[in-house]
Chain A
């Protein structure tokens, strides 16, 4: 569905030192710096996949996404989305995709969301039946009924995001680009939005590429992740494989009735010790065995074996040159 090969994007950025004299100087002497936002990125995404696109701020995620959506011309390289070349901006292409930006609203600000929906209905050539049916479905899934006739500017961020998703999905896009869809939302609303995205993907086999800062989004939504930093693609593959590669250990959280005075290094690497609880990092293969030893040797009240937190894995991945 999405094919990207050897994609590059460079920007020429005007550079100016801070300060008043520099400001005057820059009036006639402009320094430019070339920023390579995306460097030699290639990947393929099949129909119906949900892929998480991860990277720190300024890594090149949004730039890549804007090229996929046809807003930016690539400097070089090739992109096709559903057989279309995005920057040619063909109407047929625009009808098969949607881009939702958590930071930007496509809803018309001073009038109710329903008005935006009606404009989209006409612009995307939807017939009455398809429109009403989709709207009904989305209204129910996203609980939009009380929001449709309030001016967009008076909606809360969470309410607006739900309407934003509806506006993006009304024309039933086959490809959905979500750029930080849960940014700024409270935990409960994030959860709702995630559940909606998963259900929607299952039901309609929509291909979804998602960027997010919240690891919760990625863990809940994506089996496959792509990690980008400094414009380069560092990793493309299953999330579980990444975890194994980057952090080949399990976390053993052991709570004792009374913390025994033992040298824990015989069991694993100590991550934390506090008030009757020890957290150990233990090699994956030996995790079960170590847990058994602990249970046998000490008065253990509770034991927990889990994967290292995703934040930790991703932060480590960002620091690697190549994963």
Chain B
């Protein structure tokens, strides 16, 4: 399996280099929305500019590290019939997607960490105040968030076996997640009812939760509770994905040819 992953990672890396411009636009394009949102909030609450600055830079970092585009890929591959090529090979197609995620996120990491570090030299507000173990928890939460978003995106993508243009379905989920994951505003600013829902839904654990660890907003008890709920969602989404996969294989029409 390790050998297969090395080959896939290498291939995805070469493929990424073939799409240099697209990758760059993709990287910078995703930064625009949080930056604008940040300036809006800074304008509304100028006295809290510094905490918004840290929060939204963290959003950029966590959002990129957990982003998932698999629904669009699967939608296209299944609709156009190219998915068959992956199905014919003796390796589950999900590994191709995982390898792609690793390669792109590695690139994001290599770009974002130096940029954040350089920023922290000039703006003290960007310096995280985390102890060693908190950094560990933060990174673990980012990985967990990436896994959750990946599973959700891939599961939605599998719906393409039943409906065409499934990305529209994901679009709705994405709008909900915009608010409940903390991308528009820190979750503490949500109305109490929404805030309570957000704790039980998976979206918080995709972006907000790691940031809460980084800012110190989550105390020890919340940390344990958060990881427990996120792990629960990980199991649920894995089960959903497996079920969709099995049902989808029966439904597959292997279009084209």
Contact = CB atoms under 8 A, between A and B. Distances in A.
Interface in A109-143: 110-111, 115-116, 118-124
A111 B256 contact: no
Chain B CB within 10 A, most for which of A66, A95, A121, A151 = A66
Contact of B88 (A62, A92, A99): A99
A111 B18 contact: yes
A103 interface: yes
B87 A124 contact: no
Interface residues of B, number: 27
A98 B90 CA distance: 11
A66 B81 CA distance: 12
Contact of B85 (A73, A89, A105, A121): A105
A111 B11 contact: yes
Chain B CB within 10 A, most for which of A69, A95, A122, A179 = A122
Contact of B249 (A89, A99, A103, A110): A89
Interface in A77-98: 87, 89, 91-92, 94-95, 98
B253 A72 contact: yes
Contact of A104 (B4, B89, B257): B257
A121 B252 contact: no
B89 A120 contact: yes
B257 A103 contact: yes
Contacts of B252: 71-73
A124 B82 CA distance: 19
Interface in A158-200: 179
Contacts, number: 82
Contact of A73 (B7, B87, B91, B249): B249
A123 B89 contact: yes
A106 interface: yes
Contact of B253 (A11, A92, A108, A115): A11
Given A106-B85, A119-B7, A73 B250 contact: yes
B88 A123 contact: no
B72 to A, nearest CB: 16
Contacts of A115: 10-11, 14-15
B88 A94 contact: yes
Contacts of B85: 104-106
Interface string B234-257: 000000000000000110111011
10 contacts: A66-B254, A71-B252, A72-B254, A89-B249, A104-B81, A104-B82, A110-B15, A116-B11, A123-B91, A124-B89
Given A110-B15, A122-B3, 14 more contacts: A70-B87, A71-B254, A72-B253, A95-B90, A99-B88, A101-B256, A104-B257, A110-B18, A111-B15, A116-B11, A119-B11, A122-B4, A122-B7, A123-B90
